[in-house]
A and B are shown apart, each in its own frame.
Chain A
Amino acid sequence: MSRRQPGWPLLRQLSGPDRLGRGAAVASPRTRSLRARTASADRVVKSVCPYCAVGCGQNVYVSAGRVTQIEGDPDSPVSRGRLCPKGSATLQLTTGPSRVRQVLHRRPHASEWEPISLDAALDMVADRVIESRRKGWEWEAGGKRVRRSMGLASLGGATLDNEENYLIKKLFSALGVVQVENQARICHSSTVVGLGTSFGRGGATTFPADLQNADCIVIQGSNMAEAHPVAYQWVVEAKAKGAVVVHVDPRFSRTSALADLYVPLRAGTDIAFLGGIINYVLAEGKWFEEYVKAYTNASTIIREDYTDTEDLGGVFSGFDPETRRYLPGSWQYEGTTVNAASGARDQFHRAEPGGEGDRAGGASPQRDETLQHPRCVFQILRRHYARYTPELVEQVCGVPQASFRRVCEAVTDNSNRERTTAFVYAVGWTQHTVGVQFIRAASILQLLLGNIGRPGGGIAAMRGHASIQGSSDIPTLFDLLPGYIPMPHAHRHETLRDFVDADSTTRGYWAHLDAYLVSLLKAWWGPVAMPDNDFCFDYLPRITGSHSTYDTVVEQLEGRCKGYFLFGENPAVGSANTRLQRLGMANLDWLVVRDFSLIESATWWKDGPEIESGELTTEEIGTEVFFFPAAAHTEKAGSFTNTQRLLQWHHQAVEPEGDCRSDLWFVYHLGRRIREKLAGSTDEMDRPLLDLTWDYPTEGRLDEPVAEAVLAEINGWDAAGRPLSSYTEFAPDGSTVCGCWIYCGVYAGGVNRATRRIPHLQQDRTGSQWGWAWPANRRLLYNRASADPAGEPWSERKAYVWWDDQERRWVGHDTPDFVVDRPPDYQPGEGSTGPDGLSGSEPFVVQDDGRGWLFAPTGVVDGPLPTHYEPQESPFTNPLHVGHERNPARRLYPRPGNHLAADPASPGAAVFPYVLTTYRLTEHFTSGGMSRHSPYLSELQPALAVELSPELAAERGLANGGWATIVSPRGAIEARVLVTERMTPLTVQGRRVHQVGLPYHFGPNGLVTGDAVNELTSITLDPNAHIQEVKALVVDVRPGRRPRGPALRRMVEDYQRRAGVTAETGTAV
């Protein structure tokens, strides 16, 4: 402008060229000074959202050494540039006001934190580890060699990079620590067993973008639109193409609002619902006959001594009521034994009760291809689900028969050669005492309908943390080694060969367990691992049962576990029975917390609920606490594995400030210090630690370990130093190294394929050149099943991979999940093993028999078929199995503080008449440790609210916006009341039942606070996955705020008295 602009916008408009006031006239001086982040940035760094497991691509803008903006990456085939509120707010994870950047130390019995240098703190922690390890050391347990320490434990992290989880598991295993767990235990451990035993791999069979190819999508046990909002765009795409969307859930949500059919059901009754659909499919003849006969174990004949729950009043054959365990031998195939690809795989070891041999049988299963034999799986399935009628579904689930039939019709009308149906689920299915069986039920249904391995079909397990899939694959879990190799159990005189014989399969890819395990041992112990010492197999500590995070809490309460690491996890809010979590921590000698802000698990000793109630006094708590501030995802490099098994690399944009460090830095340098302190030790206990390969290169001012080097070890290399490309290159002779066999290929050719970022508009439908998915960059698993036994697509519309007779190979839209040049008519020779032992028409290549398992002969400890049992806490009896109301094999922890509700038929049941279910909000994340410290997110969701129906509100005198106290047999919390028709009262067994809902993100710390909902929940576990039941419990709801101080415990104890609840209540088989 040639003349000075007047300050008033109206005058500028009238006097300048912008007479319509559309642009220059209305620009204020501040606006004119703004620069687009694209103009001011020095660089934009490729990254991935650190919140949920969708794995939205992010662009991180950096200017003058500071992160200035974080946006969605429009090139991502996963997210197409979108971010939900959490992803949009991740800038504050880097720049937010609540971040701590100084190491803090709480001396035993102190009332305040003191700053301490990072160096001094790390050294002190190293000393604590050495001491607690030694004090808790066991060479033997129960007469069996264990070589481990029960003196310390670790929890976290699903929010950590794969490389960080790898070093945690590696170091802690070498230290002899078996109590290593993370959020995967409490979220989706059921998925590993449920999908793994059914199909071979314990991860989602499909990827969210493939949902756009579905003709019907059933979302159940999930509020996908709110918990995985960006992935929900693919459901919307499917709907725009004419797909039918069905939402089955206790609560009407945004997912329901976009569904064609919403079906409310009683929380915890999904097996009855899915079993009803299975019965409908079988009774109406809607199963995909050719697929079922060729690709499942429907024709396999089961042992003669197998007896079903229908004949034994609610238990399967082999149940021991004294131990509450099953001996599963009678579930096996007639004439042979097979091993599972997941779940319990050591069941037939000769040292186990009922063990029948060392190795899977090897003989081919006996089959009746007519499916008429009374003991063939198909007939067993028919009889097992014969009583799961629409009437039963209505009686148990509260779903009107007409609604149920509409679901059945939608699913079966859209499942055949031309059409496919997908199932989507999340923790609404996993977090139950029968969580694994929920998933097995869906797996059975999808196999019967012929939807597995086909586009628009499959089962999408929607996981909930940035790398929780990764923290299962490279597991900071007690019962697994990387790549789902079982953690070895203690057995007498067990050798590597003993272990391989017990846990491998005869056919399929698990037949090469020895190669995977030896390559892992070589990665960990390098030149020391040799054939004559079983490749240091004895260095691995042994488990002797469950060492889940909940067992660790018991170990803490009983004084045996004295040290604890928390890596980005917040059990004082996020784990079941938070009061016991805190009481356990109050019994520790020391606690290390690594996080961005002072979460509840770091501060419970000074401001937790037990301090408020007077149950604990700060000065009497002897736990020494270290708080180490963690680096944000923008401040470190590493890979996340999202819910579709996709590894995506996030680069470091800026260095962390102050004492903030990555967990990679922390674990590496902690390990380095411990090794230095123990250098020269002649104690045999220390050999695994001192022989460990722990020589990663570091770089930069902070000596940050090079994450790519860790990834290269995870990928593996050969004796010439060449990165391996595939697990088919492994050998069991010690000539190959690989930290995680299922990840082999991510660093093939020396290129970090997790960094690949070819824009989705330039790619095929699978987006295969973005990141790298295990296994072998396949996006849709078991895709051989998308073609018929002859190798032809079932239909042109659903063609995915097929046999090209000219090229003599499998071709198509994805990496074939099959030996690429194996023709459809291939038949294995006598005695063939491994993948060569499967025919050209057996698509489930990790399974011992190459088939999808309708019936699980092994691997699932509480039954080969899903059976409806009531949740541990329920207002209703089980109409199917009187006398076995609940899962007889569920894991219980009867103790003070973990009281369970009275049986539904007892007088005390009326004290807790309502069903509580828990859920997520879009704007918060898990235990709130990240989101409640974000100003943006806190503003969007500032308060805990209990959702309940108008009918219940009237019944209990609850006012919308007012306060309510929610009481369970264990605790009491308060919340604002949100009266809504979204919570539908149901009619079950002839009477009305109300369900109430609570999001579980709140706790006493942060910018927005509230009571932790897990004050109400119990430690009652699924026996396969050791996952807690927090999706269905019983409560009372009363108006008004809860008591403070000692009056709070008195109120809970009064409820317990009125309900007749003791520590033994609810523990009957």
Chain B
Amino acid sequence: MPTREQVRSQIEAGVGYEEAGRRLGVPAGQAYLIATGVPADGSGSLTPEQLARPGFIRGGVQELLGVAHHNPSEHPLVEGFVRARVEADEPMRAAARARGVPDHAR
């Protein structure tokens, strides 16, 4: 098992936890735990001292667990849906033109 000093020296050299873990033969999340004493899955409350530890990352370390996160912010079908609604609504586009604002360009 790598020591805290071994992991921290990697981090201080500018190597990320994924690469540090690979070099030391442990999962990235375990490297983070060794370096900081804080689990990468976020379990447990954090003390002010833990927040100040060398190598601690303020949030977003769950990716070190190596599991793909699923959180898309767009959907490929939405734009076409909206466009079809607009194209079908000539009165809406006419109202926009009357007001001098852009309408859907054909």
Cα-based distance from A73 to B65 in the complex (angstroms): 13
Contact of A651 with B92 at beta-carbon distance under 8 Å, contacts A75-B42, A719-B102 already known: no
Report if B86 contacts A (CB, 8 A). Answer: yes
Whether B77 lies near A719 (C-beta < 8 A) is no
Contact of A737 with B85 at beta-carbon distance under 8 Å, contacts A45-B70, A59-B62 already known: yes
Whether A709 lies near B81 (C-beta < 8 A) is yes
Report if A762 contacts B (CB, 8 A). Answer: yes
Report if B3 contacts A (CB, 8 A). Answer: no
Whether B101 lies near A696 (C-beta < 8 A) is no
Cα-based distance from A723 to B10 in the complex (angstroms): 46
Cα-based distance from A39 to B78 in the complex (angstroms): 34
A697 CB contact (under 8 Å) in B60, B80, B97, B102: B80
Contact of A43 with B84 at beta-carbon distance under 8 Å, contacts A706-B77, A719-B104 already known: no
| Chain A positions within 8 Å of B13 at CB level | none
| Chain A positions within 8 Å of B89 at CB level | 522, 526-527, 719, 737
A706 CB contact (under 8 Å) in B59, B69, B75, B86: B75
Whether A721 lies near B75 (C-beta < 8 A) is no
Cα-based distance from A759 to B57 in the complex (angstroms): 11
Whether A530 lies near B78 (C-beta < 8 A) is no
Contact of A38 with B95 at beta-carbon distance under 8 Å, contacts A651-B71, A712-B81, A759-B59 already known: no
Give A762's nearest chain B residue, CB to CB. Answer: B59
| Chain B positions within 8 Å of A758 at CB level | 59
Whether A719 lies near B95 (C-beta < 8 A) is yes
Report if A379 contacts B (CB, 8 A). Answer: no
Whether B60 lies near A759 (C-beta < 8 A) is yes
Question: Smallest Cβ distance from A74 to chain B, in angstroms?
Answer: 2
Chain B 84-106 against A: per-residue CB contact (8 Å), 1 yes, 0 no?
Answer: 11101111110111110111110
Cα-based distance from A759 to B96 in the complex (angstroms): 40
Cα-based distance from A529 to B85 in the complex (angstroms): 13
| Chain B positions within 8 Å of A721 at CB level | 79, 82-83, 85-86, 104
A693 CB contact (under 8 Å) in B85, B96, B98, B104: B85
| Chain A positions within 8 Å of B29 at CB level | 38
- The stretch from A120-128, A401-409, A748-756, A902-910 touching chain B is A748-756
| Chain A positions within 8 Å of B80 at CB level | 697
| Chain B positions within 8 Å of A11 at CB level | none
| Chain B positions within 8 Å of A713 at CB level | 85
Report if B73 contacts A (CB, 8 A). Answer: yes
Whether A44 lies near B69 (C-beta < 8 A) is yes
Whether B73 lies near A751 (C-beta < 8 A) is yes
Report if A42 contacts B (CB, 8 A). Answer: yes
Give B79's nearest chain A residue, CB to CB. Answer: A750
Report if A733 contacts B (CB, 8 A). Answer: yes
Whether B81 lies near A696 (C-beta < 8 A) is yes
A731 CB contact (under 8 Å) in B51, B75, B83, B99: B99
Whether B81 lies near A706 (C-beta < 8 A) is yes
Question: Which parts of A693-739 form the interface with B (CB within 8 Å)?
Answer: 693, 695-697, 699, 706, 708-709, 712-713, 717-721, 723, 731, 733-737
| Chain B positions within 8 Å of A530 at CB level | 91
Report if B66 contacts A (CB, 8 A). Answer: yes
Contact of A735 with B81 at beta-carbon distance under 8 Å, contacts A75-B42, A719-B86, A721-B86 already known: no
Contact of A717 with B58 at beta-carbon distance under 8 Å, contacts A43-B69, A709-B75, A752-B73 already known: no
A527 CB contact (under 8 Å) in B91, B97, B99: B91
| Chain B positions within 8 Å of A44 at CB level | 62, 65, 67-70
Report if A239 contacts B (CB, 8 A). Answer: no
| Chain B positions within 8 Å of A39 at CB level | 27, 66
Question: Smallest Cβ distance from A715 to chain B, in angstroms?
Answer: 10
* Residue from B29, B68, B85 with most neighbouring chain A CB atoms (10 Å): B85
| Chain B positions within 8 Å of A531 at CB level | 95
Question: Which parts of A735-774 form the interface with B (CB within 8 Å)?
Answer: 735-737, 750-753, 755-762
Question: Which parts of B17-53 form the interface with A (CB within 8 Å)?
Answer: 27, 29, 41-43, 45, 51
Cα-based distance from A350 to B103 in the complex (angstroms): 39
Question: Smallest Cβ distance from B88 to chain A, in angstroms?
Answer: 6
Report if A1026 contacts B (CB, 8 A). Answer: no
Question: Which parts of A492-547 form the interface with B (CB within 8 Å)?
Answer: 522, 526-527, 529-531
Report if B14 contacts A (CB, 8 A). Answer: no
Question: Smallest Cβ distance from B7 to chain A, in angstroms?
Answer: 19
| Chain B positions within 8 Å of A886 at CB level | none
Report if B12 contacts A (CB, 8 A). Answer: no
| Chain A positions within 8 Å of B83 at CB level | 721
* Residue from A719, A733, A750 with most neighbouring chain B CB atoms (10 Å): A719
Q: How large, as a class, is the contact surface on chain A?
A: 35 or more
Report if A46 contacts B (CB, 8 A). Answer: yes
| Chain A positions within 8 Å of B97 at CB level | 719
Question: Smallest Cβ distance from B55 to chain A, in angstroms?
Answer: 14
B62 CB contact (under 8 Å) in A75, A717, A735: A75
B98 CB contact (under 8 Å) in A81, A706, A733: A733
Cα-based distance from A699 to B80 in the complex (angstroms): 14
Report if B5 contacts A (CB, 8 A). Answer: no
Whether A734 lies near B95 (C-beta < 8 A) is yes
Report if A487 contacts B (CB, 8 A). Answer: no
Report if A61 contacts B (CB, 8 A). Answer: yes
Report if A116 contacts B (CB, 8 A). Answer: no
Report if A41 contacts B (CB, 8 A). Answer: yes
Cα-based distance from A753 to B75 in the complex (angstroms): 12
| Chain B positions within 8 Å of A42 at CB level | 67-68
Contact of A709 with B78 at beta-carbon distance under 8 Å, contacts A75-B59, A719-B102 already known: yes
Question: Which parts of A46-62 form the interface with B (CB within 8 Å)?
Answer: 46, 59, 61
Question: Which parts of A63-111 form the interface with B (CB within 8 Å)?
Answer: 71-75, 80-81
Cα-based distance from A717 to B29 in the complex (angstroms): 43
Whether A719 lies near B92 (C-beta < 8 A) is yes
Give A81's nearest chain B residue, CB to CB. Answer: B42
Contact of A719 with B81 at beta-carbon distance under 8 Å, contacts A38-B65, A733-B95 already known: no
| Chain B positions within 8 Å of A695 at CB level | 81, 84-85
Cα-based distance from A284 to B12 in the complex (angstroms): 62
Give A697's nearest chain B residue, CB to CB. Answer: B77
Whether B88 lies near A527 (C-beta < 8 A) is yes
Cα-based distance from A697 to B27 in the complex (angstroms): 41
| Chain B positions within 8 Å of A43 at CB level | 67-70
Whether A719 lies near B66 (C-beta < 8 A) is no
Question: Smallest Cβ distance from B37 to chain A, in angstroms?
Answer: 15
Cα-based distance from A756 to B80 in the complex (angstroms): 23
Whether A717 lies near B86 (C-beta < 8 A) is yes
Question: Smallest Cβ distance from A424 to chain B, in angstroms?
Answer: 22
Cα-based distance from A721 to B88 in the complex (angstroms): 11
Question: Which parts of A665-700 form the interface with B (CB within 8 Å)?
Answer: 693, 695-697, 699
Whether B60 lies near A720 (C-beta < 8 A) is no
Question: Smallest Cβ distance from A819 to chain B, in angstroms?
Answer: 21
Question: Smallest Cβ distance from A51 to chain B, in angstroms?
Answer: 20
Contact of A527 with B92 at beta-carbon distance under 8 Å, contacts A42-B68, A43-B68 already known: yes
Question: Smallest Cβ distance from B80 to chain A, in angstroms?
Answer: 7
Whether A735 lies near B96 (C-beta < 8 A) is yes
| Chain B positions within 8 Å of A693 at CB level | 85
Give A637's nearest chain B residue, CB to CB. Answer: B75
Cα-based distance from A44 to B29 in the complex (angstroms): 15
Question: Smallest Cβ distance from B33 to chain A, in angstroms?
Answer: 12
| Chain B positions within 8 Å of A753 at CB level | 73
Cα-based distance from A81 to B62 in the complex (angstroms): 12
**Beyond the given A43-B69, A708-B78, A737-B89, could you list 17 further A-B residue pairs with CB under 8 A, ordered by the A residue number?**
A38-B29, A38-B67, A44-B70, A61-B67, A526-B89, A695-B84, A697-B77, A697-B81, A706-B75, A709-B77, A709-B81, A717-B85, A717-B86, A718-B96, A719-B101, A735-B92, A762-B60
Q: 10 shortest A-B CB distances, which residue pairs?
A: A74-B42, A759-B59, A719-B96, A761-B59, A735-B95, A761-B58, A708-B75, A719-B103, A735-B96, A46-B71
Q: List 21 A-B contacts (CB under 8 A).
A: A38-B66, A42-B67, A43-B69, A73-B42, A75-B42, A527-B90, A651-B72, A718-B102, A719-B93, A719-B96, A719-B102, A719-B103, A721-B104, A731-B99, A733-B99, A734-B92, A735-B101, A735-B103, A751-B73, A755-B73, A762-B60
